[in-house]
Structure 1
Amino acid sequence: MKLFYYFNYLALKLTPRFLLNMKKRKLERKFENSKQYVAHRVAYYLKHKNEFDLSSRATSIAGFKHRGQSQYVIDLMSVMAYFPSHFRFRYHFGDETHIEDEPTLFKARPIDGDNQNSVLMKLVKYRHFRFVEDSLSFGEKQDVAVFRGAVTQPHRIEFMQRMFGHPLVDAGQSNPSSGNPEWQQPFMSVQDQLKNKFIICLEGNDVASNLKWAMSSNSVVVTPKMKFETWFMEGTLQPGVHYIEVADDWSDFEEKIQYYLDHPEEAEDIVKHAHEYIAPFRDEELEQLISIKTLERYFELSGQVK
């Protein structure tokens, strides 16, 4: 699968731009009836409404050179291929969530505050935008909330301190732990995690990487209030509609989980709404068009598209 991902990028690099322009027009015709939805998504990712100037720190597409972080490079340059090589842009790769002083392309940004200079692009999609086909209904799953992941950040450490060993929680640390060796639990595949009614999604340096596949399952996501967002528009997700929101200190976890165990029809409604939210993100051609249109708007506002 990953080999196919890299092969597609190499094929794209060899495609003449006039053929890519034809492909773009074809996508525009296909989604003609979705223009309003596409415009809404673009406006969410790029919040600027007025023109702006890029500083000398901007790089051109032709002059772009970045070592390492190949998935960032592939995902960004796969969209840049649709534009003239002299067009310029600012970018930051990695789990960066700071705000620059001019519009800059990022994978993630803070949900709250003035974040308009962080322009979201769909980056590291091979890792973050995975979806599952879940063969178990919510009712067939175990009455447990599961977590598996690295525990390095303070909020993840606090979660393990409070919730490890809780009768409704199966929590396990995936990275070595010298201070709390009992936190290290055996590897659990995604398919095994799906045997549980609730999947705990904890933000790391930015968003929770398991959020997308968890929302595509028939389990219900459990998370404290989200602080960061990506192309997935986490800031638009609603507690009680798309996921179960618990307090930062997990003090109301048991009460909320028990409520949905006692009211499974409401949990199944959350699953239904989560699937409805996920649906557009599973349409690869629609996603491609929105990515192109986001960059097109960026280049328009920076005075590069006349």
Structure 2
Amino acid sequence: MATLQRNAQKLIYYARNAMRDIAPPVLFRRRLGRLLDQARLSDASVRQRLNYYNTLREPFTPSPEAVPVNRLPSDRSMYYYDLKEFTRYFDPGLRVDLEFGDVIEVPKMPSIVKDRPIIGDNGNGVLFKLNKFRHFHMPADDVAFADKHPLVVWRGELNNPIRTLLLEAVRDLPFCDVGTPRATAPAEYRKPYLTIDQQRRYRYIISLEGNDVATNLKWIMSSNSLCLMPPPTYETWFAEGQLEPDVHYVPLAPDFSDLAERVHHLEKHPAEAQRIVAAANAYCRKFADERAEQAICLLVLYKYFVLSGQIEPDPEVWRFIAG
């Protein structure tokens, strides 16, 4: 049932975006001024978020490889649609540098990206809400923390050494149900596939980065289960760099040597565990405000185009961005 529902959601996603592509672009561009006026009336949290995603301050010139927004690469269709949803409000000749896919290094030029490293000077990575169908899937969870299995679960691909390290570190811990469903993995690492709903029946779910960010982090933090993970090193529109250990998630040592101690403590102090779950849920709720999400997406692009010298800023809108 969950798979059928998810497939239906994907069909709706593509149908909606295909209809947008058919509509005359001028209809969207006519609305930009009104939408920006609405955006500048937003509260301070919108300003804080847009300037977190787009930290650029100084003027710059797009690279020779920058593409006009009416000719975005469409080979990664979800990336294309997620960016085109908002670039269509701007002049089609405006140019943008971008890197679709998993970005593990900061671009040399200011570029639109899905993710960037958290540590260091990451300003050239301008975060945008890309591949959101996959990464912002946060279904409702109707099972209370206390009613879940008092066990730890993890499933995933072995595409990062830290994941194999986890399987080795907890192999003899009876309260851990961790493994990969990949048939080509060593036998001692293999476990049956579990759906999101099946994993959320456990009190504790481990989140681990793979090629870049951990895809499961959003649906874990929006559930009534508790997220356990080493501090993240990459971030997306979810702003993983703003997550606080022992506030939004339970931090684990890089070698997972403290996992047993952490779980034992939380089982003895369920109120502490549920406080972290509540804070994680609250963190996730802001991404459900579609009006704020639209305002931030438009403002992130607007700031990019202004600083790249491609449009003259509206004084009121720019005053809001600058604070």
* TM-score normalised per structure 1: 0.94
Q: 1:66 to 1:14 in 2, by over 3 A?
A: closer
* Equivalence map 1:151-166=2 (5 Å): 151-166=158-173
**CA distance in 2: counterparts of 1:206 and 1:226, whole angstroms:** 9
**CA distance in 2: counterparts of 1:32 and 1:182, whole angstroms:** 55
Deviates most, 285-294 or 240-249: 285-294
Amino acid at match of 2:273: A
Instruction: For structure 2, list consecutive stretches of 5 or more residues without a partner in the other structure.
Output: 1-8, 313-323
* TM-score normalised per structure 2: 0.89
Deviation sequence 1:137-182 (CA, Å, 0-9, x none): 111111111101111321111111112342121102022334x213
Deviates most, 146-155 or 281-290: 281-290
Deviates most, 149-158 or 105-114: 149-158
**Of residues 184, 192, 212 in structure 2, which corresponds to 1:177?**
184
For 1:61, the equivalent position in structure 2 comes to 69
After TM superposition, the runs of 4+ consecutive aligned structure 1 residues lying more than 2 A away are 14-35, 62-67
Q: 1:109 to 1:197 in 2, by over 3 A?
A: same
Task: Indicate whether 1:221 and 2:227 are aligned.
Answer: yes
For 2:44, the equivalent position in structure 1 comes to 36
Deviation sequence 1:68-105 (CA, Å, 0-9, x none): x2111111111111111100011111112212221011
For 1:101, the equivalent position in structure 2 comes to 108
Q: Secondary structure at the match of 2:293?
A: helix
- Count the aligned residue pairs: 304
Q: 1:213 to 1:240 in 2, by over 3 A?
A: same
Q: Secondary structure at the match of 1:62?
A: helix
Q: Secondary structure at the match of 1:34?
A: coil
> Post-superposition shift, 1:17?
3.9
What is the identity percentage for the equivalent residue pairs of Structure 1 and Structure 2? 37
Amino acid at match of 2:156: G
For 1:111, the equivalent position in structure 2 comes to 118
Task: Indicate whether 1:290 and 2:293 are aligned.
Answer: no
> Post-superposition shift, 1:66?
3.9
Q: Secondary structure at the match of 2:205?
A: strand
For 1:301, the equivalent position in structure 2 comes to 307
> Post-superposition shift, 1:31?
5.8
Q: Secondary structure at the match of 2:310?
A: coil
Q: 1:164 to 1:132 in 2, by over 3 A?
A: farther
Deviation sequence 1:210-243 (CA, Å, 0-9, x none): 1101111000100011100000000000000000
Q: Secondary structure at the match of 2:191?
A: coil
For 1:78, the equivalent position in structure 2 comes to 85
Q: Is the 8 A contact 2:137 2:218 kept in 1?
A: yes
For 1:141, the equivalent position in structure 2 comes to 148
**Of residues 128, 132, 155 in structure 1, which corresponds to 2:139?**
132
Amino acid at match of 1:241: V
Instruction: For structure 1, list consecutive stretches of 5 or more residues without a partner in the other structure.
Output: none
